[in-house]
Amino acid sequence: MGNSAARMIPVPKIHVAILMDGNGRWAAARGLPRSEGHRAGVAAVRRIVRVAPQLRIGTLTLYAFSSDNWERPAAEVASLFGLLEDYLRSDAAECTARGVRLRIIGRRDRIPLSLQQAIDSAERQTAAGRILELRIAIDYSSREAILRASCWMLSSLEVSDREFARRLGQVTNGGVAAPDVDLLIRTGGERRLSDFMLWESAYAELHFTQRMWPEFDVADLEAAVEDYFGRERRFGRLPDGAAAS
Ligand code: FPP
């Protein structure tokens, strides 16, 4: 194959989803309040977003606030919402310049009005971004989304995967279906999904690391992505070249 033909083959872009766990423990280990762990977590988000396109990541979904996180102390919830609002307001211009499109998934009816407004404005400002889709999950519950999409479809006799995924996209952000997750990363040492992207991660490769999220750096993401590209993805099929007997 000549060089020009090789150049025409599109490089596959992957969807990486991250559970950014460990902010609180990172802060406690340094004698700092938990809010400082979340602040350091935002710095890690910036590092990862900047490098993601170079690692063939086309969609990045970050779990910032689960619907279960409402159970945390009010002061921690308020500090998280404050950090998210600051990020959306301060980084939208850089996202626009880098071709990053911001989309927020999750419920919008319970979060503070000023955060809702920051979301609307950041989504509008970055809408033309085509290099990376950065999806931030806020007040997000995968189970609730699946339930709501299922209720919506109750009157349909038969529903395809694709149609259901489209409905799911509509209930989680009023928009498009998310591509399936290729690689799901959880930092902080725990090994569970915590109600995150359950439908979309049906065939995701899982990567668990002991690293606390504020310490997660470019080399960690590179290692996870490199590991992902080395894995054989079979989607229930036999390995390539294996004859059925
Ligand atoms: C889990 O760690 C982390 C969260 C509940 C919040 C994650 C949020 C951020 C990193 C800020 C997001 C900002 C942007 C811009 C997307 P934990 O607090 O449960 O940590 P622990 O398990 O050590 O207590």
CATH code for the domain in which residue 84 is found: 3.40.1180.10
Percentage, residues of the chain above pLDDT 90: 76
Annotated active-site residue 21? The verdict is: yes
Q: Mean pLDDT check: name the lowest of 3-7, 11-15, 150-154, 197-201.
A: 3-7
Percentage, residues of the chain above pLDDT 70: 93
Supply angle C-alpha 65, 67, 72, rounded to 5. 75
> Cα(23) to centroid of ligand 1, in Å?
5
Residue 161 has pLDDT above 70, yes or no: yes
Residue 178 has pLDDT above 90, yes or no: no
Residue 222 lies in domain: 12-229
The mean per-residue pLDDT over the stretch 194-199 comes to 96
Contact yes or no for 179/15 (Cβ under 8 A): yes
Residue 192 has pLDDT above 80, yes or no: yes
pLDDT digits (tens, 9 = 90+) for 139-150: 999 999 999 988
Contact yes or no for 19/207 (Cβ under 8 A): no
The mean per-residue pLDDT over the stretch 127-147 comes to 97
The mean per-residue pLDDT over the stretch 92-98 comes to 98
The mean per-residue pLDDT over the stretch 157-164 comes to 83
Q: Which of 23, 68, 69, 182 is catalytic?
A: 69
Query: Closest Cα to residue 207, out of 13, 25, 21, 11?
Result: 21
- Dist CA 159 CA 165 (whole Å): 10
- Asked, for residue 235, whether it belongs to a domain, the answer is no
The mean per-residue pLDDT over the stretch 53-78 comes to 97
- What is the DSSP secondary-structure string of 102-158? EEEES--SSS-HHHHHHHHHHHHHTTT--SEEEEEEEEE-HHHHHHHHHHHTTT-S-
- Asked, for residue 72, whether it belongs to a domain, the answer is yes
- Asked, for residue 141, whether it belongs to a domain, the answer is yes
Predicted pLDDT of residue 244: 55
Q: Name the pLDDT band for 172 (thresholds 50, 70, 90).
A: confident
User: Which residue's CA lies nearest to atom 8 of ligand 1?
Assistant: 64
> Cα(40) to centroid of ligand 1, in Å?
9
Annotated active-site residue 139? The verdict is: no
- Asked, for residue 162, whether it belongs to a domain, the answer is yes
- Asked, for residue 3, whether it belongs to a domain, the answer is no
- 3-state class (DSSP) for residue 46: helix
- Asked, for residue 242, whether it belongs to a domain, the answer is no
Ligand 1 mutation pick, 26, 38, 187, max ligand atoms within 8 A of CB? 38
Q: pTM to 2 decimals?
A: 0.92
Predicted pLDDT of residue 1: 41
- Asked, for residue 6, whether it belongs to a domain, the answer is no
Predicted pLDDT of residue 243: 59
Predicted pLDDT of residue 48: 98
Q: What integer best gives the mean pLDDT of the chain?
A: 92
> Cα(24) to centroid of ligand 1, in Å?
7
Domains in the chain, number:
1
pLDDT digits (tens, 9 = 90+) for 14-35: 999 999 999 999 999 999 999 9
- Asked, for residue 31, whether it belongs to a domain, the answer is yes
